[in-house]
Copies of this chain bind each other. A is one copy, B any other.
Amino acid sequence: MKVFAGFTLGLFLIGLASFTMIQKKKIIFFGDSITQAGVNPGGYIVRIGELATKENLAAQYDFIGAGIGGNKVYDLYLRLEDDVLSKKPDIVVIYVGVNDVWHKRSYGTGTDPDKFEKFYNALIKKMQAQNIKIILCTPAAIGERTDFSNELDGDLNNYSTIIRNIASKNGLPLVDLRKAFLDYNTQYNADNKESGILTTDRVHLNEKGNQLVADEMWKTIKSLSGR
């Protein structure tokens, strides 16, 4: 009997372990080339993993990069089913907007602000229908000058405001990278440089940029997953 009981207990413990594994949170980072580079050594997603490890929380998360270079909000919408919904994540971090603004000038193929908002809302609606928790991010920078003389600052601020409003209307957590980058540059970019502070090329993240993004996102991910 005891043996049997012990065996029962053993099964129960195994069951508990499985249960914990089922509770592991799957986090998908959904974005453009910045996110695509996030899974490279030193990338922001790798750094989030390191932060989790430091805090002994690594076992509780799967961090999955789903970034593709050149993506705009409607590209995310096109591959939402394949790259996000079908993977059944718990949390999705949407980090998009740079190309929607940038490609207006470089290729004539940016995204109108009203359509940016429409597709963004469509992303949210489809994810929420599947009970996915969503974290929104503002696009950090196209140029790091602090005097608002980066060519696309006006438009980037406009699209950031659109995202902030979506977050606030839907009660969704926001990682305001645009603000975080401006604050950091205001403090550390006294020479009003175009790049080299948090980016390598005005847009893509250097070490410090990746770390800043990782820090900001990690705080929000933890708070959203109740840890």
Please report A residues at the B interface, Cβ cutoff 8 Å: 74-75, 77-78, 103-112, 115, 118-119, 122, 143, 147-158, 160-161
Contacts and interface: CB of A to CB of B under 8 A. Distances in A.
B143 A149 contact: no
Given A118-B78, A157-B149, A109 B112 contact: yes
Identical copies in the complex: 4
Contact of A154 (B112, B119, B143): B143
A68 to B, nearest CB: 12
A87 to B, nearest CB: 19
A225 B115 CA distance: 36
Given A104-B107, A153-B154, 10 more contacts: A74-B77, A77-B78, A78-B122, A103-B108, A104-B105, A104-B108, A148-B154, A149-B160, A149-B161, A152-B154
Contacts of A109: 104, 108-112, 115
Contacts of A147: 157, 161
A147 B151 CA distance: 15
Contacts of A108: 103-105, 108-110
